[in-house]
Structure 1
Amino acid sequence: MLASQANSLRTALAAETNLDTRRMRSHSIDLSASQLSVFPDEYGLLSDLYQLTMSACYTGEEIANTPASFELFTRRLPADYGYLIVMGLEQGLDYLQNLSFSPKQILDLQKTALFDDAPNSFWRLLEDFRFEGEVWAMPEGTAVFANEPMLRIEAPLWQAQIAETYLLNTLNYQTLIGTRAARLRQAAGPKAKLYEFGTRRAFSPQASLWAARAAIAGGIDATSNVLAALKLGRQPVGTMAHALVMAISALEGGEDEAFEAFHRYFPAAPLLIDTYDTVAAAKRLAQKVADGLSLNGVRIDSGDLVQVCQQVRSHLPDIPIFASGDLDEYAVERLRAEDACIDGYGLGTKLVTGAPVNGVYKLVEIDGIPVMKESHGKLTYPGCKQVFRQYQDGQIIGDRLALAIESTQQGEVPLLKRVMHDGMRISESESLDNIAARTAETMQALPESVRRLQTPEPLTIELSSGLESLIQSTQKRSL
C-alpha cells in the first residue's frame, strides 16, 4: 500500500515536473518570439543611443527644457524622381502620443553602465515624460520637394531630440512606398487594377504593414497582406502559387484538374496559368469558358509579357489578364506603351523596396535663436519655415519656402498644418480613402514635366526674402 502511494506520488511529481518544464520551454519560446516585436509602451527605447545620451547631456547642462524646433525634410530627391508624396504622419503622431519610459526601461538603461556619469535629474526627466510639443506637418498625400519640411516639431529640446529616430523611420519608409505607388498608378493609368504583393520582400513584418498602408494611400487598389487588409478595413486580394498547380497536377492528373479544384472553392479568384505552357493553358480555358465556365481572370508571372499576354488575349478576349513578376513603374509604362493587353498588376519587390528616401531631421531654432548647418553638401536653412504652394488654373506652378511668420501671398496655399498641440492631437485620423484622393488630386495638379518617370524637371522652389535674409545673418553670426 505504502509502496503504491509512493509510486503514485513519484508519478505525480514527475508529471508536474514535466509540465513545469514544458511551461518553461513554452515561456522561453514565447519570450524569444516576442522579444523583437515592438509595442507602444516600448516606444521610448526605440531610438538611437545618441538621442538618449544627448538628452542626458542637455539635462546636465540645464538646457533640456529649452524651447527648440526641428524640421524633417530631404536634401535631395532619389534619382529620376521629380517629387515625393508625404506618408507616415499617422504613425508618427501615434508614436508621440504613446512615447514614455517605464520604471523597468529606466532600470535597464541604468544597468548598461553607459549613463553612470549622467546627472540624476536625467532619470527624473524620463520618469515624468509626456510629449508636450507642437507638431506642424504636411497632410499625407501631399507632394513635397527637396529642402521643404514635411514636418516640424516645436518642443522642449530633449523631447524634440528623442523623437528623431522613429519619425525618420516611419516618414522615410512610407513616403518611399507612397511615392512609388503614385508613380505606378501614373504608369498604369486610372483603370488598371493594382495590387500590392510585397509582404515577403518588405524589410520586416512591421514594414510590410506600413507598406500596404502607404501603397493604398498612394493609389494601389488592395493588398495581399491579410493582416494589413483587415486592420485597414479592406478586402485582401490574391490568386494562387505555382505550388498548388504542381501539387494537384502531380496527384490528380494535370493542370486542368488544378484549375478546376481551385475554382471549385474560390470561383471569384483569377487562375495562375504560367506554370507550364501559358498559351496552351489559355486555349484550354477558352474552351471551358465557351462551355459556360465563369472565369474572373488569369495571372501571368513570367515570360515576355507583351507577347504572351497578347496571345492569351486572343484566346480569352473578355477575361481580365493580371501580370506580376518584379514589375516597377518603368516596366508597367513600357508594357502599356506596347499594348500588352494587361488589365491589372501584382506589384511586390520593386514597390516595397528601392532607393531610400533620405530624409533628415535637423535643429532649426533654439530658444528663439535660428541655427543652421553649414557643412559642405549638407547645408540646412535656419528658422521655422512654411511652404507656400502656388497654383494657376488648378496646376502647381511653384513653391515658396518662407519663414513660418511670413504671410500668405495671393494664389498661395500654406502646406504645413498644426496637427498636435501640447502633445495632443487636434484633428481626427484621416481615412485611407481621403489620403488616396488627395494623392490623386496632387498628381493631377503636378506639371507633366515634374511627374514624368524619365528625366523629370524640378519644380521651381523660391526662397522668400525673409528666409534669404535670415540665412545671411545666421551665417555671419557663426563666423
Structure 2
Amino acid sequence: MTTLFNADTSLSEQLSFSSDDCSLLTDLYQLTMAACYAGEGIDQKQASFELFARKLPEGFGYLIAMGLEQALEYLEKFRFSSAQIKALQGTGIFESAPAQFWSLLESGGFTGDVWAVPEGTAVFALEPLLRIEAPLWQAQLVETYLLNTLNYQTLIATRAARSRNVAGEKTTLLEFGTRRAFSPQASLWAARAALAGGFDATSNVLAALQLGEKPSGTMAHALVMALGTLEGSEEQAFTAFHQYFPGAALLIDTYDTIAAAHKLASKVKAGEINLTGIRLDSGDLVTLSKQVREILPNVSIFASGDIDEWEIARLQENNAQIDGYGIGTRLVTGNPVNGVYKLVEIDGIPVMKQSSGKISYPGKKQIFREVVEGELKTDTLGLVGENYPEKQPLLKLFMKNGKRLYSPYTIKQIKQQTAASVASLPTQIKNLNSSTLLSVEISSSLQKLTDQTKR
C-alpha cells in the first residue's frame, strides 16, 4: 500500500499533521460516498448541509457557538495533492471507483458558500450553527472536520461562558487545561475557545502568543520541593522564585498551607517580599482560603484543582475567599456537544431524516431572534426567505464561492460578543440549578414544509 511517508519517517512524525493534510483528516465514508456520487453523475448537484445539536449536553441551558474561524481556514485550504491521491489509490479500497472521482479530487478546492452564526453567539437545540451550500461532493467531504472543529470549541466556549457567568466579572479566570486536553491540537483550540468564552488568560504559551495574548501561570510543587530540599527550606524556594519573577503568585500548599502563609506574612511585614498572590491547589478550599485571608489580607488568592462552574458556585455559596481560578481538566473534557451535520436540500429539493429519535427539519433554515430591552424573548427556526421585521436573522454569509467575505474577528471582539450574548439570556436559562430550556419556535412555513416532505 502506498503511504504518505518514507521509511525514515519516525512514528511520531507519521501521527502528526499540517494544514496541508487536513483534506485527508476525514472519515473514510466521506470519500466512498463522494466516489459514489461521482459514479452516479450527481457530484455537482447543489447541496445544503446544516450543522446543529439535536439536544444540549445535560445541565446546559445554551451553547456558545465557536470554531467558525478554524472551519473557514480549513475550507480555504481544502484540496488534495497528487501524493495524497496516490496514497488513497494505494489502499486498494477505491479500485472500482469511477475515474471522475479522481478528477474531482484533482480539480481544486472548496467553491461553496458558508452561512453561520458569529462566534460568541448563544444558540439552542435544533438551531444551525453553520450551513454549507456547495456541490454535493464538496459539502459531503468537509463534514468530519467541521464537526470536530465546531463541536469541541463550542463545548469549551460554553463552559467558559458558564464559569464567567457564575464567577462574575471581577474574578480572574485562567485556562490551565493543556495537559488534560485530548491532543496538542485540541489544547490550542481549547485555549482559544476559553479566551473567547470569557477567560482572562491561558497558561498555554503557544496558544497565547499565536493569539497575541500574554500567557499566565504560577509555579508547580516540583519547584518548591526541589529548591526547598537543595537550598534548605520552603521559604528559600519562594525567595528564589521571586528573585527571577517578582510579584508572581506562589503555590503554598506543598507541605503545610497555613504554616507557609504565616512565614510569607512575616516576610511581607519585614519588607522582604512583595507578595501579590498565592495559589491553593488542594484541601478544603473554603476553610483554607478564609484562614489565608486572615493571615494575608491584602494578597489575591487563586484556587485550582478540579474546578468547574459548579465548584465555583459551591465555593461562593460558602463564602470562600477566592479571587481567581485556574481551570483545567473539567473545562477541556466532559460531556461533549453532540453536533450533527445533515443534508437538508439537494438540487433544490428539501430532504429530511426520519429515523427514530433523529428527525431533522428539511430545507435551508434561518434563526430569527427577538430581543426586547436587551433580553432574549424568543427564537424562531424558520426557512430562508421568511421575514420577521421585529426579529434579527442570526446566520450570516461568511464565505461566497469559496472566498471569505470578512477579516477574522479578534479574540477581544469574540469575547465581547459572548459576554453580550450571555447577558441577554433569561436568568432561568443561565441558572446552573435550573432545568429550564428555551423553547425554540418552529415557524408555520417550516412546519408546513416538514409535513409535505414527510408525505
| Shared fold (TM-score, shorter chain, > 0.5) | yes
Per-residue CA deviation, residues 350-397 of structure 1 (Å, 9 max, x unaligned), is 011010000000000000000000011000000000000011111001
The letter of the residue matching 1:106 is I
Q: Does structure 1 residue 104 correspond to structure 2 residue 83? A: yes
Partner of 1:381: 361
TM-score, length-normalised on structure 1?
0.93
Q: Does structure 1 residue 446 correspond to structure 2 residue 412? A: no
Q: Does structure 1 residue 227 correspond to structure 2 residue 206? A: yes
Q: Which has the larger radius of gyration?
A: 1
> Partner of 2:366: helix, strand, or coil?
strand
Given that residues 78 and 355 in structure 1 are in contact (C-alpha distance below 8 angstroms), is that contact kept between their aligned partners in structure 2? yes
How many angstroms does 1:41 deviate by?
1.3
- Partners of 1:390 and 1:404 in 2: CA distance: 17
**Richer in helix (by share):** 1
Given that residues 40 and 99 in structure 1 are in contact (C-alpha distance below 8 angstroms), is that contact kept between their aligned partners in structure 2? no
Q: Does structure 1 residue 368 correspond to structure 2 residue 348? A: yes
The letter of the residue matching 1:281 is A
Q: Does structure 1 residue 236 correspond to structure 2 residue 215? A: yes
Partner of 1:172: 151
How many angstroms does 1:37 deviate by?
1.9
Partner of 1:133: 112
Given that residues 138 and 151 in structure 1 are in contact (C-alpha distance below 8 angstroms), is that contact kept between their aligned partners in structure 2? yes
- Partners of 1:320 and 1:305 in 2: CA distance: 14
How many angstroms does 1:409 deviate by?
2.9
- Partners of 1:125 and 1:28 in 2: CA distance: 30
Given that residues 397 and 460 in structure 1 are in contact (C-alpha distance below 8 angstroms), is that contact kept between their aligned partners in structure 2? no
The letter of the residue matching 2:365 is K
Given that residues 86 and 150 in structure 1 are in contact (C-alpha distance below 8 angstroms), is that contact kept between their aligned partners in structure 2? yes
Q: Does structure 1 residue 333 correspond to structure 2 residue 333? A: no
Partner of 1:294: 274
Q: Which residue of 297, 307, 310 maps to 2:287?
A: 307
Given that residues 282 and 315 in structure 1 are in contact (C-alpha distance below 8 angstroms), is that contact kept between their aligned partners in structure 2? yes
Per-residue CA deviation, residues 407-451 of structure 1 (Å, 9 max, x unaligned), is 1332x1100000000000001100000000000001110000011
- Partners of 1:375 and 1:216 in 2: CA distance: 38
- Partners of 1:266 and 1:456 in 2: CA distance: 46
> Partner of 1:198: helix, strand, or coil?
coil
> Partner of 1:82: helix, strand, or coil?
coil
- Partners of 1:145 and 1:304 in 2: CA distance: 36
Partner of 2:434: 455
Per-residue CA deviation, residues 247-286 of structure 1 (Å, 9 max, x unaligned), is 1111111100100111111113100000000011001111
- Partners of 2:289 and 2:94 in 1: CA distance: 63
- Partners of 1:40 and 1:31 in 2: CA distance: 19
Q: Which runs of 5+ in 1 are unaligned?
A: 1-26
The letter of the residue matching 1:92 is A
Q: Does structure 1 residue 398 correspond to structure 2 residue 373? A: no
- Partners of 1:35 and 1:90 in 2: CA distance: 26
Given that residues 402 and 466 in structure 1 are in contact (C-alpha distance below 8 angstroms), is that contact kept between their aligned partners in structure 2? yes
The letter of the residue matching 1:354 is G
Partner of 1:122: 101
Given that residues 42 and 100 in structure 1 are in contact (C-alpha distance below 8 angstroms), is that contact kept between their aligned partners in structure 2? no
- Partners of 1:341 and 1:287 in 2: CA distance: 21
What count of residue pairs does the alignment treat as equivalent?
449
- Partners of 1:248 and 1:433 in 2: CA distance: 39
How many angstroms does 1:86 deviate by?
0.2
The letter of the residue matching 1:205 is P
Q: Which residue of 288, 310, 319 maps to 2:299?
A: 319
Alignment map for 1:1-12 (pairs within 5 Å): none
- Partners of 2:315 and 2:181 in 1: CA distance: 25
Are residues 30 and 111 of structure 1, via their aligned partners in 2, closer, same or farther at CA, if it must alter by over 3 Å? closer
> Partner of 1:136: helix, strand, or coil?
strand
- Partners of 1:456 and 1:319 in 2: CA distance: 38
- Partners of 2:435 and 2:427 in 1: CA distance: 8
CA RMSD of aligned residues (A): 1.0
> Partner of 2:377: helix, strand, or coil?
strand
TM-score, length-normalised on structure 2?
0.97
Partner of 1:272: 251
How many angstroms does 1:454 deviate by?
1.5
- Partners of 1:317 and 1:456 in 2: CA distance: 39
The letter of the residue matching 1:34 is E
- Partners of 1:323 and 1:84 in 2: CA distance: 26
Per-residue CA deviation, residues 30-57 of structure 1 (Å, 9 max, x unaligned), is 6433222221211211110000000000
Partner of 1:409: 389
- Partners of 1:426 and 1:375 in 2: CA distance: 37
Per-residue CA deviation, residues 57-78 of structure 1 (Å, 9 max, x unaligned), is 0000000000000000000000
**Displacement over 2 Å in runs of 4+:** 27-34
> Partner of 2:382: helix, strand, or coil?
strand
Q: Is the deviation greater in 32-41 or in 228-237? A: 32-41
- Partners of 1:129 and 1:361 in 2: CA distance: 23
